[in-house]
Amino acid sequence: MAINVQGLQGQWNQLKGEVKKKWGQLTDDDLRWSNGNIDQLIGRIQERTGEKREAIEKFFDHLTSEGASAFSSAVETVGHAAGHATNRLREGYSQVADTARDQYGNAREIVVRNPMQWVAAAFGIGFMAGMIAGYTSSHSHHQPPRRFF
């Protein structure tokens, strides 16, 4: 039986607890993983538990396939959540766009009904902005130089 050594190594800290549940007599030293040598690990487990190599390999294979399945499930769950969030954002954007369109229509209607008032208001606002800009511009050119001593 071929064990997914890479999957086992990557998840070993999490899987070690499952191995200890199955074979309670194993210590952390027994489950030490060194240099990716799966044969040494399985040999130590065989010595301490009396379990057959095939049973240990089958258990490890089961653990790594469960881990991969849990990871796939987590990825799928995150994907669903992201899709749901995207849909909610689209709905919110659609509502904002509809409201903006309605308000623009209302504002346009008001301007069309009273064009002279809006032209006068725009002229007044422009005139005031020009006065403020001119005042600040002329004041900035007439300031005396600063002395630091």
Neighbours of 57 (CB within 10 A): 15
**Predicted local distance difference test score (pLDDT) of residue 52:** 92
Higher pLDDT, 50 or 13: 50
Residue 36 has pLDDT above 80, yes or no: no
Do 34 and 15 meet the contact criterion of CB atoms below 8 Å apart?
no
Higher pLDDT, 48 or 8: 48
Average pLDDT over the chain reads: 78
Do 30 and 45 meet the contact criterion of CB atoms below 8 Å apart?
yes
Residue 68 has pLDDT above 70, yes or no: no
Residue 149 has pLDDT above 80, yes or no: no
Cβ contacts of 33 within 8 Å, gap of 6 or more:
9, 12, 41
Closest-CA residue to 59 (of 21, 32, 33, 29):
21
